[in-house]
Amino acid sequence: DQQVKQNSPSLSVQEGRISILNCDYTNSMFDYFLWYKKYPAEGPTFLISISSIKDKNEDGRFTVFLNKSAKHLSLHIVPSQPGDSAVYFCAALSLNAGNMLTFGGGTRLMVKP
């Protein structure tokens, strides 16, 4: 039973355009949602997060939107750059029980020059 799902395994976008990565979850008790970026042969690196009581968080080119009624969040990257090409993981955090992260399966983003 996957609690966090990323239904698009890959996404291709032209440089300068917007990239939209989507994530769905089933557990209403998650406290935070996070996006991690992963390059090949490296560990995931934290990108941006949003509290479950917010509906938007912005950091430079990256904005995360949370729709609690739909149990859906999305990451917008504007403008997309070739260096953004990586695998993006959506993750959900429960603050109890050791602050465990539950990850989605990832979306591979390719930004074409």
Q: What are the helix and strand counts (H, E) for the chain?
A: 0, 11
> Which of 42, 53, 70, 96 is the binder for other proteins (CB under 8 A)?
42
Q: Residue 52 interacts with other proteins (CB under 8 A)?
A: no
Percentage helix, strand, coil for the chain under 3-state DSSP, each rounded to 5: 5, 55, 45
Token pair of 39 as six digits? 């390059």
Residue 9 or 16 with smaller CB distance to other proteins = 9
Minimum CB separation of residue 79 from other proteins in Å reads 26
> Which of 26, 31, 56, 58 is the binder for other proteins (CB under 8 A)?
31
If phi > 0 it is left, if psi is from -120 to 50 it is alpha, else beta; for residue 6 that is beta
> Which of 46, 55, 59, 81 is the binder for other proteins (CB under 8 A)?
46
> Which of 24, 32, 73, 86 is the binder for other proteins (CB under 8 A)?
32
- Whole-angstrom Cα distance, residue 92 to residue 99? 10
Token pair of 102 as six digits? 């539950």
**Binding positions for other proteins, rule: CB under 8 A:** 4, 6, 9, 31-32, 34, 36, 41-46, 49, 89, 93, 95, 97-106
